[in-house]
């Protein structure tokens, strides 16, 4: 395990409402830092189940969850 602070990049635009208030969805078992970041609204805790089809991004305006692939396909 590493103690380095993860970097939360700015997400893409929401494909539904075009809000830029999009944050990454974190899967797996989050660290205490990740919980704090989620409390600040910097990311979404997606749960422990890691699946290739999991959406990567969550819109905090409309609640839409999507992947980068969803954006490029549409």
Chain residues in the site for Zn ion (CB under 5 A) = 14, 16-17, 19, 59, 61-62, 64
CA dihedral 38, 44, 49, 51 (to 10 degrees): -140
Q: Which is nearer to Zn ion, 30 or 58 (CB)?
A: 58
C-beta closer to Zn ion: residue 19 or 31: 19
What whole-number distance in Å separates Cα of residue 58 and Cα of residue 74?
A: 17
| Closer residue to Zn ion (CB): 12 or 47 | 12
CB of 33 to Zn ion, least distance (A): 26
Computed over its alpha carbons, how large is the radius of gyration of the chain?
A: 12
């Amino acid at each position: 395990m590493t103690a380095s602070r993860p970097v939360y990049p700015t997400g893409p635009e929401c494909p539904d409402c075009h809000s830029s208030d999009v944050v990454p969805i974190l899967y797996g078992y989050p660290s205490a830092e990740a919980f704090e970041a989620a409390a600040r609204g910097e990311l979404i805790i997606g749960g422990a189940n890691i699946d290739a089809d999991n959406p990567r991004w969550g819109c905090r305006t409309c609640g839409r969850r999507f992947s980068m692939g969803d954006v490029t396909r549409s």
